[in-house]
A and B are shown apart, each in its own frame.
Chain A
Amino acid sequence: GQQVMQIPQYQHVQEGEDFTTYCNSSTTLSNIQWYKQRPGGHPVFLIQLVKSGEVKKQKRLTFQFGEAKKNSSLHITATQTTDVGTYFCAGRVSGNTGKLIFGQGTTLQVKP
């Protein structure tokens, strides 16, 4: 079936270091979305990428969608302790319901 693979599973960084998480889909996606889940909380929408090769920025966060619309990445520059949490990518499956397939998530720990 359709899968979205995300790596790494965990990442520990020193505050101020950069962080990147990668997603790869087994099939072409209509779009990809990124969510952040804080410990004990629910996923919160960050951004959606639709176009091939699209790049979007939110302050220190940079999101990319691959040319083939099968992979994506999230890069955080100069991490802060507030960046702690689990980052999920979610690929939109074409079809009537538009269901999302979530990656396994990358849990980021930031040491102050």
Chain B
Amino acid sequence: GAVVSQHPSWVICKSGTSVKIECRSLDFQATTMFWYRQFPKQSLMLMATSNEGSKATYEQGVEKDKFLINHASLTLSTLTVTSAHPEDSSFYICSAKPSYESPLHFGNGTRLTVT
């Protein structure tokens, strides 16, 4: 149980375009989802906390207008990287948990390459 699906697994886009990444909890409802970014051989950096039905909470230094988060239902959160640039190339991973005390369950991640 507690499966999180993330799509797409990888995407290559041109500089200036926008990319949408979907994160779904398949067998549980998640009022909160978390978006992380991971550079090669580095740790997971929390970007934002996605809250169902309300605005996302962004971590310090993360641009809200650059990384748009929409959590429209209890099973879906999306991250849109707007006007992507090569420095946005990274591994983006979402996570969710069935309850407050549960551990995080991660999606498979999305490897974004901006050319």
Which residue numbers of A lie inside 8 Å of B, CB to CB? 1, 6, 33, 35, 41-45, 48, 88, 90, 97-105, 107
User: Given A98-B100, A99-B49: A104 and B43 within 8 A (CB)?
Assistant: yes
Question: In the complex, are the beta carbons of A33 and B106 less than 8 A apart?
Answer: no
Question: In the complex, are the beta carbons of A102 and B44 less than 8 A apart?
Answer: yes
Nearest to A101 among chain B residues (CB) is B46
Q: Does B7 contact A (CB under 8 A)?
A: no
Q: Mark B42-78, 1 if CB is under 8 A from A, else 0.
A: 1111100101000001001000000000000000000
User: Given A1-B60, A97-B57, A107-B41: A45 and B103 within 8 A (CB)?
Assistant: yes
Complex alpha-carbon distance, A98 and B103, angstroms: 10
8 more A-B contacts (CB under 8 A) besides A6-B43, A35-B104, A97-B51?
A33-B103, A33-B104, A97-B32, A98-B101, A99-B34, A99-B46, A100-B104, A102-B46
Q: Does B85 contact A (CB under 8 A)?
A: no
Query: 13 A–B contact pairs at CB < 8 A?
Result: A33-B104, A42-B107, A43-B44, A43-B104, A43-B106, A45-B104, A88-B43, A97-B51, A98-B101, A99-B46, A102-B43, A102-B44, A102-B45
B97: chain A residues at CB < 8 Å are: 98
Question: In the complex, are the beta carbons of B106 and A42 less than 8 A apart?
Answer: yes
- The interface on chain B, measured as residues whose beta carbon lies within 8 A of the other chain's beta carbons, has a size of 24
Q: Does B21 contact A (CB under 8 A)?
A: no
Question: In the complex, are the beta carbons of A100 and B106 less than 8 A apart?
Answer: no
Name the prevailing secondary structure of the A interface residues: strand
Q: Does B108 contact A (CB under 8 A)?
A: yes
Complex alpha-carbon distance, A104 and B39, angstroms: 11
Complex alpha-carbon distance, A104 and B57, angstroms: 22
User: Given A97-B32, A98-B100, A107-B41: A44 and B46 within 8 A (CB)?
Assistant: no
Min C-beta distance of B5 to chain A, whole Å: 11
Q: Does B98 contact A (CB under 8 A)?
A: no
